[in-house]
Chain A
């Protein structure tokens, strides 16, 4: 299945948006406006997608139509605008979509509410089925990263940052001090424990990226 590269999964959904308007604004524009205000009003770590397990990266956009290439190409046209949802995720598609519904249902309802056939989606199972109907198959999927669970990726990033700091600060220590300090480094950073401490999903600056050992992280 080319949708997968190892345990990484590339989901592409083309969701038709209803033709028509809400008196003053087309459904396509309303959908886009909602997406744009998501970017506008939230820091990345507050994104509803940050709470959806195993989202490496994802994007949404409204495709109004296909582009004309100029003569001798013919002028082509789609009959509906589409909400395009593209996600790079870890693991199994259905589990992912169920998790997405569970964690981000209010966002999902807003984002998809003008899409054809979405009105009847009221459960996680419906949502999975809906997205599957909109899904198009990947022809070639290139994974230039890893296919580990997101929690492992985030833990590894946390650990690299902390270990690098430790190593640069420990260059002149005696063997005894080094061993002692390394042990406390391990006790503090808990390298085996993927849950905490770790990096916060979606965090975009150093000041708030670390989820400390005491905080519980729900993703």
Chain B
């Protein structure tokens, strides 16, 4: 039982959609797929008006910057894997939308940030789902998420001490540093110091308010284990460490 791996939190949300609604949901998702030419998307959404400005909604998600990776998987009734006669063929009444997210922070921070920050984006992605209450107000929305969440049994992160922000900032830092090392090789001490100061000035970060330009993440923060997002999960983890140490003692005996 663990939805938490260091700074990452795993959410699994599995919700039914009426079969006939699947194609509409897929259109909404397709509009959001970033690999489409940006120009086309802008042209298309401008025509539909701000309510359908999906590109802007994705910008909200990027600005939130609390997700490592997230995905939506729509499984139509006939799409459930079938591996032979040993397994009865599935024939569910509904199609299912599977949502998997790896986010930073607590459950409440995540869910509330979406509800407050990008409610229309959420409604666009879930409103064809059976029983979707809309993302505002929060009470019924919380209840819906809790009701449909499936707990992870084993969760692994390659970097429990890194948030998605840390991954992005460290990439920027390494690139700038490699470039600086090359540039500075033949410099005298005074010039080196001057250029080093410029490097630090760049690494302090500079958020770019322009959606299309790359944000210069601050890169000088230090990393450490996450603050505790759930006392219950800490208690469970401690109990586990105790089990582990008891077993080690037994092994030693």
Contact = CB atoms under 8 A, between A and B. Distances in A.
B69 A116 contact: no
B81 interface: yes
B102 interface: yes
Q: How large is the interface on B (under 10, 10 to 19, 20 to 34, 35 or more residues)?
A: 35 or more
A69 B223 contact: no
Contacts of A135: 81
B196 A144 contact: no
Contacts of A175: 189-190, 192-193
Interface in A1-59: 2, 5, 8, 10, 12-16, 18-19, 32, 35-36, 38-44, 47, 49-50, 55-59
Interface stretch (B42-50, B92-100, B134-142): B92-100
Interface in B223-244: 223-225, 240, 243-244
A67 B68 contact: no
B225 A60 contact: no
Interface SS of chain A: helix, strand, loop or mixed?
mixed
A167 B176 CA distance: 14
A142 B221 CA distance: 25
B106 interface: no
Given A67-B14, A116-B87, A154 B171 contact: no
Contacts of B73: 12, 136-139
Contacts of B168: 145-146
A77 B173 CA distance: 50
B71 to A, nearest CB: 5
Interface residues of A, number: 97
Interface string A98-118: 000000000000000001110
B67 interface: yes
A157 B177 CA distance: 13
**5 nearest A-B pairs in the assembled complex, by CB-CB distance:** A144-B67, A160-B170, A156-B170, A35-B153, A204-B160
10 contacts: A57-B102, A63-B14, A66-B94, A116-B86, A136-B73, A141-B70, A160-B174, A164-B222, A202-B158, A209-B161
Interface of B: 1-2, 5-6, 8, 10, 12, 14-16, 25-26, 29, 32-35, 58, 61-62, 65-75, 79-84, 86-94, 96, 98, 100, 102, 125, 130-131, 147-148, 150-162, 164, 166-171, 173-174, 177-178, 181, 184, 187, 189-190, 192-193, 196, 200, 203, 219-225, 240, 243-244, 247
Given A39-B1, A59-B156, A154-B159, 14 more contacts: A10-B69, A12-B71, A40-B240, A57-B155, A69-B130, A73-B16, A136-B75, A139-B74, A145-B68, A154-B158, A160-B170, A160-B223, A182-B192, A206-B161
